[in-house]
Each structure stands twice: as structure tokens, then as C-alpha cells.
Amino acid sequence: MTLASMARKYEARKAPERKVATSAMIASLAAEGYDTVAAPFGHALVEAAKTDDRIVGLSADLSKYTDLHVFADAMPERFYQMGMAEQLLMSVAAGMARERFLPFATTYAVFAARRAYDFIAMAIAEENLPVKIVCALPGLTTGYGPSHQATEDLAIFRGLPNMTLIDPCDAVDVAGMVPAMVAHEGPVYARLLRGKVPSVLTRHRPDYRFELGRAQVIREGGDVLVISSGIMTMRALDAAEKLAGDRIDVAVLHVPTIKPLDVETILAESQAGGRLVVTAENHTVNGGLGEAVARELLTAGVASRFRMIALPDEFLEAGALPTLHEMYGLSVDRVAAQIKSWL
């Protein structure tokens, strides 16, 4: 570390203009008024494993923090604790897949994307093995700073052939993605919301069901189309309700599968009604949903007015999660204000 870099590391940080009071470094993502479901991934995996004896669970010392402990408690003979060794975790999962098992490997998103990438690429993706990689703390869902904030994970894995990418919004998506991952023949990387996960989508659209590779309109609107994934669909829906008070009519298209992208639906919705098109994602502006949608709009010749809501191209601060969401534009108020400013 150079003297200059040391000075930058320890220099005083500029405080955000507005802070949200909380003592929690990892806070609930649930907005006011939403019910929550405890550990939807763990319980869905147990249900799937009851009828499919190929399913096994593996974790790199993080089963409690990826909700895989629910599976481990229910089926201890099918659970494997690999210790703090993510490369070993992925290599063993690949070996088990070759022996006709269906491994679900869990860790934090930063550890899969940064530490174990080469092992995932060579042992899993190149061989097109059915390893399901399920990772907690995606994007800005923790306040513990760059070591735990996987703000670039989708960009890293989007470039990997054979890899399917899922970014669920809520408990409905998390529970629904598990059987879809079991049915999918190739490797999957899924972002994970863990603990008490809000149930959002069926409140706005009661008939919603997760479908791999399909984007779905959750809310109709004539002025703005927000194309969103992950927790930003929840934020977009809440912002849409807030903007309705200003007579701004916002539609929300939820895109839980980042790869393969539902290009047909995205193009059809983007061309409807001359609306402002805004992408919203819990990910860096580089290489995620926003850039993927922009490419499709440009190559198809769709001349939509286009804006992006995403995290900046920088290492983010540590702190209380609501404060960070406000600072980096992911809070409901900031999303609503950005959309309003573009009209």
C-alpha cells in the first residue's frame, strides 16, 4: 500500500446530506406494510428434496447465513460443510454433479464471484454441469463495506457461457426459483434474499408466479416504464405508488432472470405508448440489467427515452443499510425523485 493510498483509506469521509437513523448494519429489506416469510430458500429446497433424491446441499461455513441450515437440519445426511474454502466448495459441487447429484452450493455472492470464479468457469460452466450456486448478500444488501458488497457479481457472471442468472425480488421469487432451478439442466447463479424476506409481488399482482426466463408486468402505467430486477422491483413498486400522488403513472416490468433475458417482452413493453424507460437494479451501472436492456433497445432500433438507476462505479461505503440506500439512490424516495426529475 502506497502512502497516497493509505492517506485515502484513512481520510475523513464526507457525510451524506440525509441520514436514516438505525443501529443495524444489516437491516430488513421489507418496506412498511409487507408481510415477511422466514428462510424461503431453505424451506423450498427441503420440499424439492423430498421428491428428488439427487439434491444435496453444500456450504462454505455459511449455512446459517444462507438459510441452508434449514436443509441441513431436515436432511443432515445430504448436507456437506466444506469449511471456509469457496474454491473447494465449487470443485466438490462439480464432482458431485458428474456423479448425477444435483448440488446446491451456497456462500456469499462476493466469495463466489471473486474468489471462486475460475473454478466455476472451468469446472462447472465449461462442462455445463447442473450446479446451482445460490449466494446471499447480493449488491448493496449489507452495510459491511466492499469486502461483502457484491455490486459487480452479475457483470462477472453475465459473460460466462452456459450460466443462467436469477435476481429474485422477494419470498415469492425465492421459493419459486428453487423448483425452476431443479428443472433447469445447466448451471445457475442465483442471488439470495435470506432471513425474513418480504412478500411483495403477489400483493401487487395476486396471480404472479416465478417463471425462469420470463419478465412480467406487475403494475400498469402510461407515463413511465420501470424495468427492474431483485429488490429494486420492490422499490419501483413503492415509488410508483408514491408518484401516483403527483399524477405520474408508472408501470413496473419485473425481470427476475438476467440471463437469458426476456428480450421479446422488454422490447414490446418499451415500444408501447412512448413512455420514459428506466432500468432499476441493485448492481453497479456496469454490466448488469441496465446495460443489457440498453443493448437490446439499441440493436432493435427502439428509440425509447432511457435512463438507469443503479449503483455507481466505485467501492461503496460501510454503514447502516437504510442510510446507504438513501446515499446511493436505492431508497423509495430517491427512486421516485429520480424518475420525477427525468419527466
CA distances from 283 to 57, 142, 221, 256 (A): 27, 13, 25, 14
Neighbours of 27 (CB within 10 A): 18
Q: Is the per-residue pLDDT at 310 higher than 50?
A: yes
Residue 338 belongs to a domain: yes
Do both 94 and 224 map to the same domain?
no
* 50 within 8 A of 71, measured Cβ to Cβ: no
Contact present, 48 and 208 (Cβ < 8 Å):
no
Determine the pLDDT at residue 33. Answer: 81
Question: Which residue among the candidates 77, 86, 264, 281 is catalytic per the annotation?
Answer: 86
The percentage of residues in the chain with a pLDDT greater than 90, rounded to a whole number, is 89
Query: Could you give the 3-state DSSP secondary structure of residue 242?
Result: helix
Between strands 55-59 and 132-136, the pairing is unpaired
What number of CA atoms fall less than 13 Å from residue 259's CA on the CB side?
A: 23
Question: Under a CB-based contact definition with an 8 Å cutoff, are residues 251 and 275 in contact?
Answer: yes
* Rounded Cα–Cα distance for residues 47 and 133 (Å): 18
Task: Answer whether residue 25 is part of any domain.
Answer: no
Q: Give residue-wise pLDDT tens across range 270-295.
A: 999 899 999 999 999 999 999 999 99
Task: Please indicate, yes or no, if residue 21 is contained in any of the structural domains.
Answer: no
pLDDT digits (tens, 9 = 90+) for 119-143: 999 999 999 999 999 999 999 999 9
Residue 4: predicted pLDDT: 53
pLDDT digits (tens, 9 = 90+) for 145-185: 999 999 999 999 999 999 999 999 999 999 999 999 999 99
Q: Select from 139, 174, 198 the last residue of a domain.
A: 198
Q: How far is CA 261 from CA 87, 282, 322, 327, in A?
A: 28, 17, 30, 29
Number of structural domains (the chain) is: 2
Point out the domain boundary residue: 172, 198, 224.
198
Residue 14 lies in a domain: no
Q: What is the DSSP annotation of 53-113?
A: TTEEEEESS-TTTTTTHHHHHH-GGGEEE--S-HHHHHHHHHHHHHTT-EEEEEEEHHIII
The answer to whether residue 86 is catalytic is yes
- Whether the CB-CB separation of 181 and 190 falls below 8 Å is answered with yes
Same domain? For 52 and 123 the reply is yes
Q: What is the mean pLDDT of residues 181-208?
A: 97
For residues 59 and 154, membership in a common domain is answered with: yes
Q: How many C-beta neighbours within 10 Å does residue 117 have?
A: 18
Place of cell 473454478: 119
Last residue of a domain, one of 165, 198, 231: 198
Per-residue pLDDT for 16 more than 80? Answer: no
Domain around 313? 213-342
